[in-house]
């Protein structure tokens, strides 16, 4: 733990590909070329990060296991509610299962692609953000490339399993339109979750205590994101729609798919637009984050 192999865990060494630094001059490469190059850098760093995580084998295996345990425990909790209280808020258990599995898949994808934003407060506190500011890569992307989320592997394995089970149990006719919508819904859910944590991370630039709220948020999403919010009183479900919009993660898209579109307490069009809302929320949260970054003054010490 003291001496060896400390270097490979940081993405720094692999970062400098000079071409990505080229400012957008007219003589520079076209946008698509730059995009490809950026993607290649991201891929290379991710590979390095993955290898870095393999260095600590105990931790790696535990990380995978822990992701799985987390998801399984949510499944157990879900089955408990489904079996003990049938007809949850007027939903059949296969419909509830679809909410739960969509939310879980969205969560797994979020952890894999955008989850590092949750550790912003740690990165800020330890002064890791400061060097990011002088590297030729968007800071947000650098934060995402800080390390490889091993637990996402476990997360996704379980989530895919549950999702397959949910599809199998559902009596829906899986038309092309529904398939497209379910994919869009999952991606939208991922973006909603990312948007929430990104907004919190924007605060992390200035307030160190955001981890407290992030943890609560994660707990709320775990407990209330996977079930029909119609069992809650109007005020509570409204709060989960407009204040902490976790209804958009899985509840709305799954409700639309399973024909609950009109009894979810919001206009049907809003529920249908859930994936789009996710996208908008993510863009807005990114703008907030950028604004907050521009006001970042560093940490002392």
User: Per CB under 8 A, which of residues 18..47 are in contact with other proteins?
Assistant: 47
Output the smallest distance, CB 294 to other proteins, in A.
23
- Binding of other proteins by 177 (CB under 8 A): no
- Binding of other proteins by 113 (CB under 8 A): no
Output the smallest distance, CB 263 to other proteins, in A.
15
Q: Cβ closer to other proteins: 31 or 235? A: 235
Q: Cβ closer to other proteins: 50 or 276? A: 50
Q: Cβ closer to other proteins: 181 or 224? A: 224
- Binding of other proteins by 13 (CB under 8 A): no
Q: Cβ closer to other proteins: 238 or 279? A: 238
Residue among 24, 58, 134, 171 that touches other proteins (CB under 8 A): 58
Output the smallest distance, CB 55 to other proteins, in A.
6
Output the smallest distance, CB 5 to other proteins, in A.
7
User: Per CB under 8 A, which of residues 256..295 are in contact with other proteins?
Assistant: none
Q: What is the residue-wise DSSP string for the chain? A: --SS--GGGSSGGG---HHHH----TTS--HHHHHHHHHHHHHHHHHHHHHHHHHSHHHHHHHHHHHHHHHHHHHHHHHHHHHHSSSGGG--HHHHHHHHHHHHHHHHHHHHHTGGGGGHHHHHHTT-HHHHHTSSS-HHHHHHTSS--THHHHHHHHHHHHHHHHHHH------HHHHHHHHHHHHHHHHHHHHHHHHHHHHHTT-TTHHHHHHHHHHHHHHHTTS-GGGS-HHHHHIIIIIS-GGGTTHHHHHHHTT-TTSSSS-HHHHHTHHHHHHHHHHHHHHHHHHHHHT------
Residue among 15, 41, 45, 53 that touches other proteins (CB under 8 A): 53
Output the smallest distance, CB 283 to other proteins, in A.
25
- Binding of other proteins by 3 (CB under 8 A): yes
User: Site mask, other proteins, residues 71-110, x = CB under 8 A?
Assistant: --x--xx-xxx-xxx-xxx---------------------
Q: Tell me the Ramachandran region of residue 10: left when phi exceeds 0, alpha when psi lies from -120 to 50, beta otherwise.
A: beta
Output the smallest distance, CB 57 to other proteins, in A.
4
User: Per CB under 8 A, which of residues 114..153 are in contact with other proteins?
Assistant: 116, 118-119, 122-123, 126, 128, 146-147, 149, 151
- Binding of other proteins by 222 (CB under 8 A): yes
CB 34 within 8 A of CB 28: yes
């Amino acid at each position: 733990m003291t001496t060896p192999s400390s270097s490979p865990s940081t993405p720094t060494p692999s970062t400098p590909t000079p071409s990505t630094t080229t400012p957008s001059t007219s003589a520079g490469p076209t946008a698509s070329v730059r995009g490809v190059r950026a993607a290649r850098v991201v891929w290379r760093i991710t590979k390095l990060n993955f290898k870095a995580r393999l260095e600590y084998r105990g931790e790696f295996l535990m990380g995978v296991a822990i992701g799985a345990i987390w998801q399984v425990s949510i499944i157990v909790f879900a089955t408990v509610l489904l079996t003990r209280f049938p007809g949850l808020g007027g939903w059949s258990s296969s419909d509830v299962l679809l909410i739960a599995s969509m939310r879980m898949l969205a969560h797994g994808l979020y952890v894999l692609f955008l989850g590092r934003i949750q550790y912003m407060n740690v990165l800020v506190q330890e002064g890791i953000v400061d060097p990011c500011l002088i590297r030729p890569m968007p800071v947000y992307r650098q934060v995402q490339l800080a390390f490889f989320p091993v637990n996402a592997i476990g997360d996704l394995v379980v989530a895919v399993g549950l999702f397959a089970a949910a599809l199998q149990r559902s009596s829906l006719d899986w038309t092309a339109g529904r398939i497209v919508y379910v994919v869009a819904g999952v991606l939208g859910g991922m973006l909603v979750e990312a948007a929430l944590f990104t907004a919190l991370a924007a605060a992390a630039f200035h307030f160190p205590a955001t981890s407290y709220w992030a943890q609560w948020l994660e707990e709320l999403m775990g407990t209330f994101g996977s079930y029909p919010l119609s069992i809650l009183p109007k005020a509570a479900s409204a709060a989960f729609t407009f204040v902490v919009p976790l209804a958009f993660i899985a509840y709305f898209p799954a409700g639309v798919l399973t024909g609950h579109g009109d009894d979810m307490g919001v206009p049907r069009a809003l529920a249908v637009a859930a994936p789009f809302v996710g996208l908008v929320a993510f863009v807005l949260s990114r703008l907030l984050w950028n604004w907050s970054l521009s006001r970042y003054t560093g940490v002392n010490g």
